[in-house]
Amino acid sequence: MAMGLRSKLNHGNSSLPRSPPYLFSSVCLLAFLSLAALLVLKVDDVAYQTKTVAGHNLKPTPWHLFEPKVFDEGTSYSRATKIVQCQYFQCRSNAIPNDPQLDPSKLASCPAFFRYIHRDLAPWSKSRISLQRVMEAKEYAAFRVVIVGGRLFVDFYYACVQSRMMFTVWGLLQLLKRYPGLVPDVDLMFDCMDKPAINRTEHRSRPLPLFRYCTTNEHFDIPFPDWSFWGWPEVNVGPWDAEFRDIKRGSRSRSWPKKWPYAYWKGNPDVGSPIRSALLECNNTKQWRTQILRQDWGEEARAGYKKSKLSSQYKIYAEGYAWSVSLKYILSCGSLTLLIAPQYEDFFTRGLLPKKNYWPVPRTDLCPNIKQAVDWGNSHPAEAAAMGKAGQDYMDTLNMDRVYDYMFHLLMEYSKLQDFKPIPPSSAQEVCIESLLCFAEPKQKQFLEQSATSLASMPPCVLPNADGRILKRWKMLKERIMKDVAQQT
């Protein structure tokens, strides 16, 4: 009977429908494809929400509009993959580097213009800088920088024109690399466009700390070295030290008597600059001793400055939309710089002295004043040549060692005014050398790697003490010299 029952059971089982042998593998494949699709969607979703140092998912600054950058990164998936890979899988090491072994015997004094650091930060010497005040400056900032324990975090708000943001952040990363363990923890707002925003009249009772590339006497904005010190790939202008050497070498191709005895300016007049528009009227070598040309910076740099009038005795500097990076290159030429009275100043121009490093040109009666400067130089060739060389020598002292030292001291003095402990916000992204290079395009990467610094062998220069009397005397001296020049015309 047991055998009969077993037989019936076996017979019953054989009558049940069997699953196809490929069903299990099909289910597994379907699950895998579904998971992959979800992963792709998730990567895509994360990528389109991630703001990057290259400018992904960022709109132009509303206070200075420009054409948004178009990224040539292939398909949507390849773009998303690059963003995720560069942003989330590069900065893996959280180790704090050891303090550098610095030789104290090489300690040197900083250039005199470093004293302006104290003046730039004076508005907060009594009130100090609170986190609330930093956050109030967000309204005027393109990004926020937080340095904690030698690591750099950036909270991106708006895109910057061309690669300004990338090269500015790179400069900060190089500072951390140069002086590991020495750069203080800071939390600051930065705008990467041209015109200062924190007006002294409007913000007198509550000045807001905002870093940018230039300032004026009417603004609280804190000047910081501009991006082009590490290179300007869009116009093929290389890192500063190499660029200065090339310009200086080209300037030596002719002695002063063999140089062209006229004033020369080549630039873009179509930037909403009244001074540059007025300068166009001076384009007459017979009447005004001046030649004015429109400039293509890209073509100029590609030609190795061979088309630049390095052979002219006088070169004109005229501000554009605001301050212009061109001044450091003009001063480097060895020609006598005719500097049309500037409204804006960057971090290093405060150290220039009229009739020593340049000839000051009043903004009024522009063409006659330029002619008067050229006529003076042609009748005093030795003095004019010496003044041109003094301008070039000044720029020779502004090597990248001094640029990093200025950055270091500015951040150090700023950190002393903070009344809070910097903490990276959850919205900030850590940026490291590897992640930034991952985002860089080939041309950008070339310039970035060329401008990479190394561990410092000597400590930062010694910052001059805060002494408002010295700056006041310096200001009075400049004003007196410029007044004397204006009275000669």
Residue 489 has pLDDT above 90, yes or no: no
Give residue 46's pLDDT: 75
Question: What's the chain's average pLDDT?
Answer: 90
Q: What is the mean pLDDT of residues 215-232?
A: 98
DSSP secondary structure string, 418-432?
Answer: B-S-----TT-EEE-
**Token pair 């005199």: residue:** 112
Q: How far apart are CA 358 and CA 391, in angstroms?
A: 6
Taking the C-alpha atoms of residue 217 and residue 468, their distance in angstroms, rounded to an integer, is 15
- Residue 487 has φ and ψ, to the nearest 5°, of -75, -20
- Give the predicted TM-score (pTM) of the model: 0.90
- Measure the CA–CA gap between 155 and 144, rounded to whole angstroms: 5
Q: Mind listing the pLDDT tens digit for each residue in 128-185?
A: 999 999 999 999 999 999 999 999 999 999 999 999 999 999 999 999 999 999 999 9
* 56, 151, 162, 192, 451 from 49: Cα distances, Å: 9, 23, 21, 22, 31
Task: Indicate whether 324 pLDDT > 60.
Answer: yes
Q: Whose CA is closest to 364, among 459, 465, 485, 461?
A: 485
Tokens of 86: 């560069």
Q: Does residue 281 sit in helix, strand or coil?
A: helix
What pLDDT score was predicted for residue 39?
47
Q: For residue 39, give the amino acid letter.
A: L
For 276-310, what is each residue's pLDDT tens digit?
A: 999 999 999 999 999 999 876 556 656 655 555 56
For 318, phi then psi, to 5°, come to -130, 130
d(CA 95, CA 279): 55
Domains of the chain with CATH codes: 112-233+400-469 (no CATH), 234-395+475-488 (3.40.50)
Say which residue the tokens 């041309």 belong to.
443
**Interaxial angle between packed helices 76-88 and 23-47, expressed in degrees from 0 to 180 and rounded to the nearest 10:** 70
Q: Give every CB contact of residue 161 below 8 A, 6+ residues apart in sequence.
A: 60, 64, 66, 192, 193
373-425 tens-digit pLDDT: 999 999 999 999 999 999 999 999 999 999 999 999 999 999 999 999 999 99
Phi, psi (degrees; rounded to nearest 5) at 320: -100, -125
